[in-house]
Amino acid sequence: MKFGVFDHLDRAGGPDTDIGRQYADRLALTEHYDRAGLYAYHVAEHHGTPLGMAPSPGMFLAAVAQRTTRLRFGPLVSVLGLQHPVRVLEEMCMLDQLSGGRLELGIGRGASPIELGFFGVTPDDAAEIYREAVEILLAGADSGRISADGPRFVLRGVPLHPMPVQRPHPPLWYAAARPESARWAAERDVNIVVGGVRPSDIRRLTDAYRAAWSRTGATSTLPLLGMNRHVVIADTDAEARDAARPAYELWYDHLTLLWRENDVPFPLPFAPSFDAAVSSGMCLVGSAATVREAALRETAEAGVNYLLCRLAFGDLPLEVSKRSVALLADEVMPAFSELE
């Protein structure tokens, strides 16, 4: 079992938030993640919404590369439907070189039709671009020459400089929401993060992944199968809940804002209230003992081998996040090492 961090980098307050200060705080937190032995830091890409203050994840991750030494990192996901694959590939190589080979590249077509629409891209456009871009990324990183002959991209041996450190390419990630997408990832040795809240729903996808992966006859180690949880750990359950409640409510407001403004039904199964989020298991909040017990139970039920923790969200104070990291490393993660 590995532990990592997923960060929407959502705005930590209202319109007058000091975003520069927020960036500085998040970068300071990545140093704590690094020292705590967390596996990787994944940051989301969003546009036109307070849900994401890293519309260009690579720019922020370049700073992460310089502030850390062991922590792996990457976008989750890089929205291929909005970018030219040559540019994505070149940026991927730069980040892998800047970090000495620590990039983990999440790829996706773009889940929000509202955000795609800001760029004049339809969901069908994004799906077509994505299909071509994935093949270009995989072939280009391996060969050093980028070629394509599709309806979207026609490329004739574009040279790739620099090449990535990790060969044939950095590890890939995909956000899987259906068993068929989990099977697609398994057939290509791609790590996944499973959408969903209930462990039983997540288990359907992790079972589908394992079955497809075993059929490939792969001799490598099983890729990472992850799920997301908000995590706040404090000295007592009450202290953790008091800190997490307003932060979750602000995060949820940012999560749903574009959908509300455009009068579009919100499609994701996140609980609208903090209490419901705790009850559903979406939030692991409490003392180290409380969180440890819940995490052990939920990861086993879901069949995952990677827990991505949202350790900073909403207006959660920096010191609360730092305390969560320390308790996670000292009193939660060791319980999983004992199971190995």
Percent of the chain's residues with pLDDT above 70:
99
Give the model confidence (pLDDT) of 310-319 as tens digits: 999 999 999 9
Residue 165 pLDDT class (50, 70, 90 cuts)? very high
Q: What pTM did the predictor assign?
A: 0.97
Give the model confidence (pLDDT) of 204-255 as tens digits: 999 999 999 999 887 779 999 999 999 999 999 999 999 999 999 999 999 9
* Amino acid at residue number 120: G
Give the model confidence (pLDDT) of 68-119 as tens digits: 999 999 999 999 999 999 999 999 999 999 999 999 999 999 989 999 999 9
CA distances from 80 to 131, 287, 314 (A): 9, 40, 27
Q: Under the phi-then-psi rule, with left for phi > 0, alpha for psi from -120 to 50, and beta for the rest, what region is 37?
A: left
281 in Cβ contact with 197 (< 8 Å): yes
Residue 340 is predicted with a pLDDT of: 52
Q: Any residues with CB less than 8 A from the CB of 184 and at least 6 apart, and which? A: 174, 190
Mean pLDDT score of the chain, rounded to an integer?
95
The mean pLDDT of 12-29, rounded to a whole number, is 94
